[in-house]
């Protein structure tokens, strides 16, 4: 791994803060959440804001920094981010993935640079600027830093939203993470695909491998593979852009991830089991569920059975019309800036799903235009200027949504 010379922007205070957070090894499966608590406690002290740390599971803190509004009785704004990052293969990185090095182009290399430590620091830096310039907000703003999002949030947001502590925050609207885009557009997500893990078991006649007996499990598997992979191809054709945050969330993806059966190479298997990873976009859910039932019935009637090993509920999509004043305030910021905003369904899962599940509208965005998609990839980086530009955006977004009447 190389050591790079410091870029001029390395001395920017916001960049220093960002790099300091990136250097905390909050990496799964043993994230250093303790150092995150120390870091954010220091940040809260510098900002002159109260901080609370909750622990519903030992060693997995939930941190909330609050900026009390002029009218604290109004439903508050939640700016959410997760502290944990996914593991790395260090040998595949150009630089130490936890050194937050800046190259000659101003790119900051670190695990979490895109997913999503950048957004958390952008929230704080924007609030730092607003407070220093005497801005007062109508609504209270809470900034949350939660654990284990990369492990499906069972010990993080999933627990937090069920707690009295969360209820006391009186959240009326939330921002969460999005993703980078290769062009100069900004993407905002107002819903998420749901994960359905499907298991199908095909039963059929067995016998010697030299026979051509009818009604085998493999014939039923063939029929189903044709249906599922055909559906997959149709979804692929609907996509106009290969980038995940443009089109992938608006289609349902189906992938065969496991197939098993048989006892020996010369025995026709009496049972073959397949597993499919299905990421279902909300508007497809009812239709797709019906297709699964239909295809299994056509393949073999009672000799083909299926079940969902996991089936996340389909959650409400955050409205993006005049009925949602937070959306209008959000959208107007981009219009005033003459920035192109693309609305999409998030192709993956974020903590926003738990908020939508209890009726809180959520928009997901990570201001990273002109940035390659490197979430969970080797050599994840974010350009320093892009990071600073994101702070400028939040300087406008936070007052806009926090001052909604």
From 115, 149, 155, 247, active-site residue? 149
Cα angle 52, 117, 14 (rounded to 5 degrees) comes to: 90
Q: CA 57, CA 246: separation in Å to the nearest integer?
A: 36
> Which position has the token pair 């000799």?
303
- Nearest Cα to 344, choosing from 236, 253, 249, 278? 249
194-203 and 171-176 beta bridge pairing: unpaired
- For the question of residue 125 being annotated catalytic, the response is no
- Nearest Cα to 87, choosing from 98, 95, 102? 98
Within 13 Å, how many C-alpha atoms sit on residue 312's CB side? 24
How many C-beta neighbours within 10 Å does residue 381 have? 24
- Nearest Cα to 207, choosing from 268, 272, 271? 268
- For the question of residue 405 being annotated catalytic, the response is no
Within 13 Å, how many C-alpha atoms sit on residue 107's CB side? 17
Contacts of 374 (CB under 8 A, 6+ apart): 113, 114, 180, 380, 381
Q: CA 220, CA 250: separation in Å to the nearest integer?
A: 30
Q: What is the DSSP string of 301-367?
A: GGGEEEEEEEEPPP-PPPP-STT-HHHHHHHHHHHHHT--EEEEEESS--THHHHHHTT--EEE---
Q: CA 14, CA 34: separation in Å to the nearest integer?
A: 22
Instruction: Answer yes or no: are the C-beta atoms of 100 and 7 closer than 8 Å.
Output: no
- Tokens matching residue 366: 């990570």
Instruction: Answer yes or no: are the C-beta atoms of 354 and 157 closer than 8 Å.
Output: yes
Q: CA 38, CA 311: separation in Å to the nearest integer?
A: 38
Within 13 Å, how many C-alpha atoms sit on residue 327's CB side? 17
From 84, 155, 284, 380, active-site residue? 84
Report the catalytic residues: 84, 149
């Amino acid at each position: 791994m190389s050591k790079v010379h410091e870029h001029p922007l390395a001395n920017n205070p916001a960049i220093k803060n960002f790099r300091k957070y990136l250097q905390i090894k909050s990496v799964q499966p043993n994230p250093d959440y303790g150092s995150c608590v120390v870091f954010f406690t220091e940040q809260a002290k510098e900002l002159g804001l109260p901080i609370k740390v909750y622990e519903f599971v030992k060693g997995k803190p939930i941190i909330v920094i609050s900026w009390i509004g002029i009218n604290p009785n109004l439903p508050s704004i939640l700016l959410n981010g997760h502290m944990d990052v996914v593991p790395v293969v260090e040998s595949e990185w150009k630089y130490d993935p936890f050194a937050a090095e800046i190259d000659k182009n101003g790119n900051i290399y670190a695990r979490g640079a895109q997913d999503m430590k950048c957004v958390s620091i952008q929230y704080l830096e924007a609030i730092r600027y607003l407070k220093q310039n005497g801005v007062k907000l109508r609504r209270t703003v809470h900034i949350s830093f939660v654990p284990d999002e990369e492990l499906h949030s069972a010990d993080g947001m999933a627990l937090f939203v069920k707690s009295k502590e969360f209820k006391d925050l009186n959240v009326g609207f939330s921002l969460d993470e999005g993703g980078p885009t290769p062009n100069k557009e900004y993407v905002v997500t107002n819903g998420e695909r749901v994960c359905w893990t499907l298991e199908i078991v095909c039963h059929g006649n067995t016998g010697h491998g030299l026979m051509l007996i009818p009604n085998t499990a493999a014939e039923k598997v063939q029929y189903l593979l044709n249906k599922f992979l055909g559906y997959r191809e149709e979804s692929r054709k609907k996509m106009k852009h290969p980038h995940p945050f443009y089109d992938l969330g608006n289609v349902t993806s189906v992938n065969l991830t496991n197939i098993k059966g048989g006892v020996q190479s010369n025995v026709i298997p009496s049972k073959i089991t397949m597993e499919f990873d299905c990421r279902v976009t909300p508007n497809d859910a009812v239709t797709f569920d019906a297709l699964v039932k239909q295809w299994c019935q056509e393949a073999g009637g009672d000799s083909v059975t299926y079940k969902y090993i996991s089936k996340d509920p389909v959650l409400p999509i955050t409205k993006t019309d005049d009925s949602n004043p937070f959306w209008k305030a959000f959208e107007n910021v981009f219009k005033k800036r003459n920035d192109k905003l693309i609305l999409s369904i998030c192709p993956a899962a974020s903590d926003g799903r738990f908020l939508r599940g209890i009726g809180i509208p959520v928009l997901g965005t990570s201001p990273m235009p002109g940035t390659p998609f490197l979430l969970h990839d080797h050599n994840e980086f974010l350009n320093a200027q892009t990071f600073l530009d994101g702070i400028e955006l939040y300087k406008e977004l936070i007052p806009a949504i926090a001052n909604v009447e």
